[in-house]
Structure 1
Amino acid sequence: MSIADDASEIARLCRRVVRDETLPGLSVAVTDADGTVYAEGFGSRDLAGNRPATPETLYGIASCTKSFAGVAVLQLVESGICDLDDPISAYLPVEFDEPEPTIHHLLTHSSGLPSLGVSETLLARRLRLPDPGIAMGDVDDFYAHVNAAGAERVDPPGERFAYCNTGYALLGEAVESMTGKPFDEYVTEHVFEPLGMDRSTFDDHEFSMADDHMTQYRQTDEGLMASSLPTRDIGQATGGILASVSELAGYLRLHLNGGEAAGERLLDADTLARAHEGYVDVPGRSPDTEGADRQYGYGWFRDEGFLGDRTLLGHSGSITVSSAYLGFLPDEQVGVALASNTSPAFPLGAVGEGVLAAVLGEDPESVPFVRLRRRHRRLAGEYAAYEGVMSATVERDGGSLRVDFDHPLKDGETVLFPAPEEGENERADAAYRYETVDSAGRREPVEFRVEDGEVSLLIDRWRLGKQ
């Protein structure tokens, strides 16, 4: 695959994201089944020294680690050491009421457990941020925390998706129980080394000694703040890998080639394909769809409607001071790895999808996130009604907009959520529809209109023009 014609579009998108979203650095690599076809860094891996981000920069990839856990478990299944339908209590000192969650349920976040806050507690502790103060000093504390949470189960296993880092922490402990090797050692020996991922590690000391590694930054109200790296021994399988996009591209080739890469076969194709299936619906939807539009496999979200009817397997990750994304299109045989040395207010997968769109020759704005962010930049600003009798400020707020009115009789904020498009508005060059909820719980329409380059906001009884 050659993407020479698309490289400038990828670079344009990435530079815009670095600038507009206050990312210190961003690295990206695109691969097909044979090898890396594009790799570049944008911005700085270290602001104080202004050292550039590169495709070889080591980042914390956070929850992108989960698909590695899926590979490790499937290797043990293929070897006959365990079965996906085995209860997790067969391998660990945990107790659950019947029906017990199985390895499959933990892999698919459908164990019935909600988040138990293990990762959040450990990350906050390592970042010197306030935490609940629960005992979590060693693995015995971890098991005690899990065993005391039986009443927190909200559904029988297999019925409901609820993202649960604790489930993957249990899987990492199960790998050690089955193999006699800690999860990090197992993955290093059975995944990193066969794939030639020589610099990838779980060890923060190895990371800090590497020539090309990120300085990680936390987003604060005062701007970017250099921070410690929140690695932790408990829960490595939830998000502990430190890697470069260059080596992650090699890992993606494992998935593009049915379990084989770098001349090594890590899994049979049929076994690895089980990781890519969608087993449980993921709540929520993209702005252009109705109803759930994603499912979850073994460490992968599965979207069968990407850019129309393409199948996308992907996963984002964040550890507050670093973020990453891995995604691939199995039918088009192309994948992308991205990483940044901070965590923006949106999953980095939104940018990865824009990169994949560019690789396929599509406008990155065909991806809802990219289109929405550009639209929101256009709509944000100061607004005023006729003769200045009412004024308001429109600001971006994640995937929504926030309107802050400034008038003695109408002083407060209103959040606007994008509404499904309903076709063209003949009275405007462009019309963007939103919804808000009033004090009585009614959904009310809101509309921005663009006419001859002028933007106006129609909300409640008001028409406000952008100044």
Structure 2
Amino acid sequence: MNRINAANQALFEELVKQIQIQGNAAGIAVAIVDEEGKTQYEQYFGYRDTEQKLPMDENTIFGLASVTKSFVALSIMQLAEKGLLDLNDPVSRYIPEFTNKNQETVRIHHFLSHSGGFYPVHRTVVKEIAEKLGISEETEGDLGYSVKLAEAGAKAVAEQLDAQTPGHGLIGRPGEYMSYCNDGYGLLSEIVRRVGGEASFADYVKKNILDPLGMERSGCDYLRPRLDENSAVLYKKENGVMTGCKDYYDNAFVLGGAGSMKSTISDMKKILYMYLNHGKTAAGGRILSMEGIRSMCRPRMEYRPESWYCFGLATKKIDDVTVVEHGGSLTGVSSNMSWSYDAGCGVIVLCNTSDVPVSAIADAAMRMYHGRNPLEDRGLYQENPWSEKTRKAAVGCYLSSEDSEVEIRENGDGVLAVVEGREKNLVMVQENLGIIRGYAKDAYLKLFKDENGGVFAIGFGGRMLPRK
């Protein structure tokens, strides 16, 4: 039931405007839809093109980035229900390029829950592999549909994962730890391509998800959004200056399942309707069984404090309401999709600027709809200093091959974190947990210890970073 009142709406919209200012966000689109598919709130802040002052509307195309992973998981679950694969099957059965030679068997469900046992590796992007192959849009058309690129990309990604060995890239046994793995989802989308009967992952998603839902302006294309008049310019900060372009290939993963989807507010309302109705479409069809949707939403691995990763989705509590969600971040993309069966609504937030904390907006919208103060009470975690032993064990530099670097330094009786060269105040709250306070959302830093109490890795941004 929609319990939005004027006071809470004013607080919510002020929060969005503050995030827009602090994050230098060009445009932010927000919508709330109920389980009947009716729009309960929709608002647009800023522009799809700031130079020309072009407004956004429900049909403006935005990038979704890692919200794509929910489409991958949905596709895999469809194939499982058709009997074309089993979630317990080894990944190598479908991707023989992935030999899985240095660890126990990695199964499909491990990649679905980011628990394959791999630290983050070098990001293999479209432009890198296309250049090596000597292909381009001029020779292949839209590279989101290129079989050559998919095959070469799968080989490159598989080789990187296979190169990891215990103590040198592998975190632990499959299923032991959760560490966000874009490459795992890339290989899952390649399984969809090879098993699903279509020429590309993009074709499979279009035929089996987008078309049945009537999501006509969505897809894994790169060329279409660049040429579409009503698509968002992608903004990012370079050398302290905000720049914009329509290069949807920028930093794009070579395998589409990691983050290639683009969509609109109008189209995303349709997939939220489907999830809120456990797999049914507004036209009376079905994308997945109720059991399949429930399986996707079942907690599998601890993700962040108070949050669990499922299959292509995560679940958490907002106050007393259980929420299912996924966010995304790429060049010129900050996105979040969430819904709650408890609240009876879904929220979509799309933004055309990098590194904007839109999940804070999504959470606030969920609270607002449920008649609560939309502003988060960030008093759950109080300062609680680590022991001297833990503090000294944590000090050091942690680096992943995905170019994420965090250094923990002692600072008197406290600690600070240096994230990508910037000093951040690290508040110690539990013996193995610290918080970096953000202007709209907190970041969590978790310590992973070995049997001797040494810190061998930290958890940050959903990823495990090994000690350098």
Q: TM over 0.5: same fold?
A: yes
| 1:164-203 → structure 2 map (5 Å cutoff) | 164-181=181-198, 182-203=200-221
> Which TM-score applies when normalising by structure 2?
0.72
Q: Report the CA distance between 1:141 and its aligned residue.
A: 5.2
- Tell me the SS of whatever aligns to 1:214: coil
Do residues 57 (structure 1) and 60 (structure 2) align? yes
- Tell me the SS of whatever aligns to 1:302: strand
Alignment match, 1:149: 163
CA distance in 2, matches of 1:141, 1:267: 29
Distance 1:141 1:66, change over 3 A: closer
| 1:255-294 → structure 2 map (5 Å cutoff) | 255-263=275-283, 264-282=285-303, 284-285=304-305, 293-294=306-307
Q: Deviations over 1:302-338 (max 9, x none)?
A: 11x321x321111110112111001111222111001
Alignment match, 1:29: 31
Q: Find the partner of 2:42 among 33, 36, 39.
A: 39
Alignment match, 1:11: 13
Do residues 210 (structure 1) and 220 (structure 2) align? no
CA distance in 1, matches of 2:12, 2:273: 20
CA distance in 2, matches of 1:257, 1:276: 13
Distance 1:102 1:268, change over 3 A: same
Q: Report the CA distance between 1:249 and its aligned residue.
A: 1.7
Q: Report the CA distance between 1:123 and its aligned residue.
A: 7.7
Q: Which moved more, 1:233-242 or 1:70-79?
A: 233-242
CA distance in 1, matches of 2:235, 2:267: 22
Contact 1:45/1:51 (8 A) holds in 2: yes
| 1:318-397 → structure 2 map (5 Å cutoff) | 318-344=329-355, 347-368=357-378
CA distance in 1, matches of 2:374, 2:4: 16
Alignment match, 1:95: 99
Q: Find the partner of 2:248 among 204, 214, 229.
A: 229
- Stretches of structure 2 that go unaligned for 5 or more consecutive residues are 131-147, 383-410, 412-421, 431-468
Distance 1:368 1:64, change over 3 A: farther
Alignment match, 2:437: none
Q: Deviations over 1:230-260 (max 9, x none)?
A: 2657221111011012211211111111111
CA distance in 2, matches of 1:89, 1:269: 29
> Which TM-score applies when normalising by structure 1?
0.72
Distance 1:252 1:171, change over 3 A: same
Contact 1:357/1:367 (8 A) holds in 2: no
CA distance in 2, matches of 1:365, 1:70: 31
Contact 2:322/2:342 (8 A) holds in 1: yes
CA distance in 2, matches of 1:92, 1:270: 27
Q: Find the partner of 2:266 among 243, 246, 262.
A: 246
Contact 1:169/1:235 (8 A) holds in 2: yes
Contact 1:96/1:150 (8 A) holds in 2: no
Greater RCO, CA 8 A, separation 6+:
2
Q: Find the partner of 1:140 among 105, 127, 152.
A: 152
Alignment match, 1:394: none
Aligned residues: CA RMSD: 2.9
Q: Find the partner of 1:105 among 79, 89, 110.
A: 110
Contact 1:40/1:55 (8 A) holds in 2: no
Q: Report the CA distance between 1:29 and its aligned residue.
A: 1.0
Distance 1:144 1:59, change over 3 A: closer
Q: Report the CA distance between 1:276 and its aligned residue.
A: 0.2
- Tell me the SS of whatever aligns to 1:364: coil
Contact 1:84/1:102 (8 A) holds in 2: yes
Contact 2:73/2:311 (8 A) holds in 1: yes
Contact 1:105/1:111 (8 A) holds in 2: yes
- Tell me the SS of whatever aligns to 1:315: strand
CA distance in 1, matches of 2:69, 2:157: 21
CA distance in 1, matches of 2:104, 2:258: 24
Letter paired with 1:109:
H
CA distance in 2, matches of 1:367, 1:165: 31
- Tell me the SS of whatever aligns to 2:47: strand
CA distance in 2, matches of 1:233, 1:185: 17
Distance 1:29 1:230, change over 3 A: same
- Tell me the SS of whatever aligns to 2:375: helix
Aligned length: 363
Distance 1:137 1:71, change over 3 A: closer
CA distance in 2, matches of 1:123, 1:317: 20
Alignment match, 1:81: 84
Distance 1:125 1:75, change over 3 A: closer
Q: Report the CA distance between 1:55 and its aligned residue.
A: 2.8
- Tell me the SS of whatever aligns to 2:213: coil
Identity of aligned residues (%): 26
CA distance in 2, matches of 1:208, 1:414: 37
Q: Deviations over 1:162-201 (max 9, x none)?
A: 1000000000000111023111111111111111100112
The structure with the largest alpha-carbon Rg is 1
Q: Report the CA distance between 1:367 and its aligned residue.
A: 4.8
